[in-house]
Structure 1
């Protein structure tokens, strides 16, 4: 039976099976390490491969552009906001919403489209007579936030076309006509009541 050669005097014991050293054991000598290269440092427990997001965290942010990107086109700058809509039905009603962030053009387009649809779909119910104008007024808050943004740049697709302003769209004109007639009839009733009283 062959016996292993005796260890040399002064040499560190080597691990023939490649098992990692146990806690508290002295580090073993690597006979294949180059003398001029530093030994790799052991990784701390819980992070065996380092930080996988380090490359993304070190990327520089573009100056003057906040952290939001538009949900529709990916352009910056963008602002968070919720655009609301309303559909009134004879017995029921539906509340609609679209959540941002949106760039200036996409946000303006969505506000105008949802408000225009609300103006002609929102009146068909008893409670909707009050909810519809309130919904259009609530949309003024995200609209003002989108209007303050700079022109969108750097998206993965072109931004949405804002289109015509709300007051130039047919649904707004259709609704505006009866509202003006109602306002004029109230003024006429007040004037007639004052003249006959």
Structure 2
């Protein structure tokens, strides 16, 4: 039963107040950077690379055409209707050590494989053209449930993409193959996701 004051507020004992103070203390505990998406991790990393003058890599803007805009107040505008002007290509591009960089970032909650349906054909076609012109193309894959991130070069990804249409082959890349054919990116502090270090090692090979 809850005891209340005449004004309707609940009566609390000293134990109740102490319990509430403990709850407030617990809420102050912070786990910095946990729960960030792959895109957020990469954006923070790319900002570090830019500030340290290691590379100039940015996320590509989404090519949308705005149709309707709502103005709830003079100082704010909200897009209520829009559509894609054209199919987007990959997520990121830029310059690193004098070379053009172009890559896609993908996440999956699967624990044992990466579904190839997460790719769009026009994305692979775009990377193939960049690759043929000497660009460095790759994919960064995050297994969000496992919190593991891998980098796979375009030629390896393209091999798996083509295989799925041959003799009813599997429609996903097994995790063990991603481990053996790609390279794992381990989280750090600065940069958050040091994928250029991994890329350097793969290019050396």
- Do the two structures share a fold, i.e. TM-score over 0.5? no
Q: By percentage of residues, which structure has more strand?
A: 2
> Normalization by structure 2: what TM-score?
0.23
> Normalization by structure 1: what TM-score?
0.24
Q: Which protein is bigger by CA-based radius of gyration?
A: 1
